[in-house]
Amino acid sequence: MSQLKISRALISVFYKDNLEPIIHLLAKLGVEFVSTGGTQDYIEKLGYQVTPVEKLTGFPSIFGGRVKTLHPAIFGGILYRRADTNDVGQAKEYGIDAIDLVIVDLYPFEETVEKGGTEEDIIEKIDIGGISLIRGAAKNFKDVLIVASRDQYSDTLALLQSKKGASDLADRKKFAAMAFDVTSHYDTAIFNYFNQGFNIPSFKKSIRHGRTLRYGENPHQQGIFFGDLDDLFEQCNGKELSYNNLVDVDAALNLVQEFETATVFVIIKHTNACGVALAPTVKEAYLKAYQADTISAFGGVLATNKAIDLESAAEINKLFFEILIAPGYDDEALALLKSKKNRMILVRKKELNEKRQYKSILNGVIEQDLDLKTDSVNNLKVVTRRAPSREEMSALLFASKVCKHTKSNTIVLAVNGQLLASGVGQTSRVDALQQAIKKASSFGFALKDAVMASDAFFPFPDCVEIASQQGIRSIIQPGGSVKDQDSIDFCDKHDMAMVFTGIRHFKH
């Protein structure tokens, strides 16, 4: 029969929180406990008798606890097949009793790494016996129920309560799958720790938190997010974030994080900024950002790095938007913003700190370092006779930060602390510039004395020529073209300033 009743349980865990109700239920059902060390003490303090592992193996815990359960008396009781007459005969011959339930977790390897433990501490947190017990019990799921994490305690308790200490084959197979999820994640973490500095070319990533999205990029596509959004945000209002929402939120936060101290407001549409501004207050920054493109802002994703007060919220509330992200909200501001039930209002708890990015492509995956280079005065090289003024230099660095987070080919036009327009995702740099000029004009911006940023070098002087015709007097670009001198010569002839960063910021 597929339903099996538990009569003997091996329990040995590092984390004992929320284990007590399971212990009480198993004891009430007459289940025999087998355990060792701290878990044995824990069960005995609850008032129940425990068979020590050492009594079954004939060995004490040795080598500083490295070897406790690695013995045929334990693994035989887990792995022998109850429906196999040869296995049953051998178990009887060697006096090995069946173990029907294994509750084992793993030493906190990842936590020790994250806390900056010494190499010795980290190595000692590589579990050997525990992971072997989990794998053994999961392999023999036809006869054994395996519980491999404290995250599974509530489901375990519910199962044992509903089926009076028994489990079905489907139950055991599901718990086995969850167990292998735990062990594979654990091994991935260990490999990635050991692979630091060696760069063995093996792609191993494991994220155990996931949520099914309403759909993917389009309604006919399925979508899942793997990660812990609750670690980043508290959602105060609105529906669940969609696939496209998450992509735009990522773009918004990465751009906001470029501005460490100044108050910044960002408006994102399809991962590109249609409004970015710096100002003394959130309200002023929002109004300047919105001014850059009052059409694209409709239905956009909004983000700032400062708390939102009521005065700012009153202005923002006039706009139809999808998402607003801020590190905090005044009570009255939040109440006003929540007046539209579908608006997604997020409180950002922490900054993004990822260092690598990857995506599926062709029949594999590509991985790279994130573009964490931010242009600064220290890495700029003035290549023209005229150097930018202090105000121009500030505007150039502002424009460069926006440019870095915009789809290539891109040109960004700005003044100090305000995006005027950008040309995004164009097949030529001239097209990107023409798009930006047209857009700036449509929203009433004169480009005289504005600055221009480019994500890559100018292969010809055509862009600086067009910029000059619009009154743009200062340019920032990576440089590196064999025809750089043509652009430099044009700038010198027309009293324009140009700086090279030496860093390209393609974004595809």
Residues 6 or more apart from 285 whose CB is under 8 A from it? 263, 264, 265, 277, 278, 279, 304
Q: Quick one: which H or E segment has residue 173?
A: helix 169-194
Helix (H/G/I), strand (E/B), else coil: 316? helix
State the residue for tokens 């008032």.
47
> Given 24, 71, 139, 142, which residue is catalytic?
139
d(CA 408, CA 507): 5
Return the structure tokens found at 285: 């920054």
Return the structure tokens found at 45: 């303090």
Is 163 noted as a catalytic residue in this protein?
A: no
In eight-state DSSP terms, residue 407 is P
Q: Quick one: which H or E segment has residue 400?
A: helix 390-404
**Beta partners for residue 347, in sequence order:** 234, 326
Residues 6 or more apart from 411 whose CB is under 8 A from it? 403, 422, 423, 429, 432, 433, 435, 436, 452, 453, 454, 463
Q: Is 297 exposed, middle or buried (0-12, 13-18, 19+ CB in 10 A)?
A: buried
| CB atoms inside a 10 Å sphere around CB 255 | 22
Helix (H/G/I), strand (E/B), else coil: 180? helix
| Chain centroid to CA 134 | 28
> Given 163, 270, 338, 494, which residue is catalytic?
270
| CB atoms inside a 10 Å sphere around CB 60 | 11
Compute φ and ψ for 49, nearest 5 degrees: -75, 145
Three state DSSP letters for 75-133: HHHHHCCCCCHHHHHHHHHCCCCCCCEEEECCCCHHHHHHCCCCHHHHHHCCCCHHHHH
Is 270 noted as a catalytic residue in this protein?
A: yes
| Cβ atoms 347, 234 nearer than 8 A | yes
Question: Which parts of 197-324 fold into alpha helices (H)?
Answer: 229-232, 243-256, 282-291, 310-316
Residues 6 or more apart from 497 whose CB is under 8 A from it? 382, 384, 386, 387, 388, 389, 392, 473, 474, 475, 491
Q: What share of the chain is helix, strand, coil (3-state, %, to 5)?
A: 40, 20, 40
Q: Label the pairing between strands 264-269 and 272-278.
A: antiparallel
**Amino acid (1-letter code) at residue 112:** T
Return the structure tokens found at 313: 């919220």
- The residues annotated as belonging to the active site are 139, 270
